Amino acid sequence: ETYPYFDFFLYTKLMDCRDFIISTLQNRELDWSLRTGIVLGLAHDLQRRIVNDRLYETDSLLERYGRKGAVGKLASRLLAYQIDGESRFDGMKELFGFFDELEVLNAGWPDYIGRIRKVLYGAGESAYEEQRQEFYEFLEGSEKRRETWERWSEQLMVYFVFTWFCGAEYDERPYEKMKLAVVSTLLIRETAQALWKEQGGVLDKNVFFEAARRYSREVEHSDLNLERLENLFREEKVCGLDRLLTLVMG
């Protein structure tokens, strides 16, 4: 079919960027946080070019990100965004607050997400950081556990990017689509940490997958919720590039 408002040039550049992004996300020589920080920065730079009517610079942008040695330089810069636990507590608690702005699709969702939020943030900053340190000590205690956690996070990002990124053809907002992927993955990872705590220090793949499924049913199955999230991504300071990078790298 022919669509009169379809911008083929924009779509091809989005496709090129998506291919590069997915390739970067699947580069397991880097930690998930570094891969995610790189592609978030790329989407930010692409958005600036769209806003300034310089989409024709997309190829040179991808060339710069893909140049030999570029990944190492970008990774070094991203390490500066590592933060202390208390700053992360504030940011992640604020992101969880986005759920309060969304349409409820499933009757059990408010109780479920309220329980998760209480486990994570109910006892305050110090307890959150202590729990988080325990969780990552648990992951680091086994190479297989750590690799599995990284792989699950990678696969979530790839799924969200593949599903939503090229939808920016309709609104010219690829940066918001990338934020959707990043924030969604962060929230699911936090939920998994809470479920690990509830289950006495056990991280079961079926529990993780169920957390992702419930999130998807509540967020992705509602056009209204997707629109509200993208509005929040543009309006709230916690979703600015620097702040999101601190949450990814924290």
Q: Summarize pLDDT for 229-242 with one digit per residue, the tens.
A: 999 999 999 999 99
Distance CA 153, CA 160 (A): 11
> For residue 1, what pLDDT is reported?
57
Domain-by-domain residue ranges, the chain? Answer: 8-249
pTM of the model: 0.95
Q: Which residues of 206-228 are buried (b: 16+ CB within 10 A; e: fewer)?
A: eebeebbebbbebbeebeebbeb
Q: Please state the φ and ψ torsions of residue 5, each to the nearest 5 degrees.
A: -105, 15
Q: Please state the φ and ψ torsions of residue 57, each to the nearest 5 degrees.
A: -85, 5
Distance CA 128, CA 136 (A): 12
pLDDT at 86 over 80: no
pLDDT more than 70, % of the chain: 97
94-121: average pLDDT: 96
Q: Is 237 exposed, middle or buried (0-12, 13-18, 19+ CB in 10 A)?
A: exposed
What's the pLDDT band for 108 if we cut at 50, 70, 90? very high
Q: How far lies 80's CA from each of 37, 84, 140, 170, in Å?
A: 12, 12, 22, 35
Distance CA 84, CA 106 (A): 35
pLDDT tens digits, residue range 176-229?
999 999 999 999 999 999 999 999 999 889 999 999 999 999 999 999 999 999
Furthest-apart CA pair in the chain: how many Å? 57
